[in-house]
Every structure is written in structure tokens, then in C-alpha cells.
Amino acid sequence: MAISAAQVKALRERTGAGMMECKKALVEAGGDLEQAVEVLRKSGQAKADKKAGRVAAEGRIVVHEHDGAAVIVEINCETDFVANDDNFTGFAELVAQAVLTGRPADVAALMAQDVDGTTLEQRRTDLVAKIGENIGVRRFTVVEPAGQLASYVHGARIGVVIDVEGGDEALAKDLAMHVAATNPACVSADQVDPEVLAKEREILLEQARQEGKPEEIVQKMVEGRVRKYLGEITLLGQPFVKDPDVKVEKLLKAAGASVHGFVRFEVGEGIEKKQDNFVEEVMAQVRGG
């Protein structure tokens, strides 16, 4: 089948693999980008799947705590300049407070809430007209902890709310900062999506077989790599950021503590953003002139 240059470029940006390898992978995958990424990972050609790192939107993460509960909210705009504008930050704080007091079921219900005689949606619309940028409330979560609540916001771009049983306030705060820094997928290995784990095991198996080892050695290699993978993506398996010689699981045991769960938001994560090429834009204007 015909593979376009745009498809090859997209795959190269995702994986860091060479042009010819990307084209071959796309042909094998029938033009499907996700399957082509998998083909490259299995062959060891993919350097990294960078899709998740392509942060698109600007905006703020806001966390509010009250009466033992917390809300974490993401509000987006188009530029970091507006993200720090007093009008925008004021709106973001208002949205977080509305979530905390109104406990809406979803974003649509939140935006329909009345705040001092005006819905949040009308306030958003008015702010768009005033600032001149598109503004949106993307998501929120309400956390009512079973244990002790702690939160941490880093530069208004990353926010964490964590629910810790046992230990003290300092430990809970440290764990919130750890989650902000390392971005674990979940608390423990038993919470990892079985489909995600099966897919990762399949990829690791194919990689190990290509090393030419006997099958029984391959199986042992895969199990070791799966354990390493789980240690990297789970909170309990990660080295503690303030003391990398100690795993978080050991830290919690020493304190007689456990983690019920956490929520981590990062501004724009998972949203694609158009990357403008300023030089090409200027040249196009020159040619047009």
C-alpha cells in the first residue's frame, strides 16, 4: 500500500527510528500508526514512544482542600502568558471552588452551575471575549480520603492529591511530591491493567527472542524485564526521590503506612498541539509576496 511522507514523519516523531525502518513498519502495519509503533518496538528500532510527552495545551492545575476533601482541576488556555493572567487565574480558582462546593457529576454539570447569578459557562464565554484566547475546563476529580490527605502543585502545571493511611503529614507531603516528579501509573503491580501488561510482555518477549538465546533463557529474561517494568511504573516499586537507595514500598513499611490512591494531573497531557514552523511561515509569506 502507498505510505505518505506525513505518515513516516509522524512515526519518526513518535519513535525516533530511521526513515526506512518507519516506512517498512507502516507497510507491515497496513498504515496503522499504533501498530507500526508496536512493530518497531518489537524489532528494537523504536527509541521511545514520545506521544505522551507531546504536551499541547497551556493552562493551570488548581487544587483546593476543605473539610477533609480535595478537588484537582485542569483549566486550559492557548498560551502560557494567559495562564498567568490574573483574570484567568481568578477564573481557575473559582472553578475549583465550584467543584468543591457543588460536587458536579461531570464538566457539563459543573459549567451549568450558578455562581453569584451567572453560570460558569457564561463566565468562561465572557473571559474568552475579554482575553481573546480559547479557554476550557478540561477535567476534575474530587478526592474524599480514607486516610490522610496531602496535595502538591508544582508551578501550576503539575498537581497531585494523595490519600495516605498512617505515617505523618511530612510523609504524605513527600509522597505527593514524589508522584509529581515520577508520574507512576498506579500504586501497586496488582493495579496495572492486564491488557497493558500482556502487551508489554509480548513486546519484551519478541525483543528477547531476537537476541538469539535459548527459549528457557528467553523466558527468564522476560520475567526479569517485566519485574523491572512494574518497578518503574508503580509507586511502590519506584526508588524514593529523596532517597533513591530506598524503594517507596520499604519507606511506607518503615513508617507503618500505606497509600490508598492518588490523582495526578499535568497541564495538556495527552493533547496534541500544532507545531508551527516560523521559518517556513515567513518563507511562505515572502514567496507569496
How is 67-125 classified by DSSP, letter by letter?
TTEEEEEEEEES-HHHHT-HHHHHHHHHHHHHHHHH--SSHHHHHT-EETTEEHHHHHH
Higher pLDDT, residue 271 or 160? 160
Percent of the chain past pLDDT 70, that is, above it, reads 89
d(CA 125, CA 134): 9
* Other Cβ atoms closer than 10 A to 56: 14
pLDDT in the model for residue 19: 78
Q: Give the pLDDT band of residue 48 (cuts 50, 70, 90).
A: very low
In the chain the first and final C-alpha atoms are separated, in Å, by: 39
Q: What is the DSSP letter of 236?
A: T
Q: Give the pLDDT band of residue 16 (cuts 50, 70, 90).
A: low
Q: Give the pLDDT band of residue 287 (cuts 50, 70, 90).
A: low
Please say if the pLDDT value at position 237 is more than 90.
yes
Please say if the pLDDT value at position 147 is more than 80.
yes
Please say if the pLDDT value at position 18 is more than 80.
no
* Whether the Cβ atoms of residue 66 and residue 100 lie closer than 8 Å to each other: yes
How do the residues of the chain divide into helix, strand and coil, expressed in percent and rounded to 5? 50, 20, 30
Can you list the domains of the chain with their CATH numbers? 1-54 (1.10.8.10), 58-181+260-266 (3.30.479.20)
Please say if the pLDDT value at position 123 is more than 70.
yes
Backbone φ and ψ of 112, nearest 5°: -85, -10
Report the candidate in 219, 223, 242 with the shortest Cα–Cα distance to residue 231: 223
Please say if the pLDDT value at position 6 is more than 60.
yes
pLDDT in the model for residue 45: 62
d(CA 61, CA 96): 9
* Whether the Cβ atoms of residue 108 and residue 83 lie closer than 8 Å to each other: no
d(CA 78, CA 59): 7
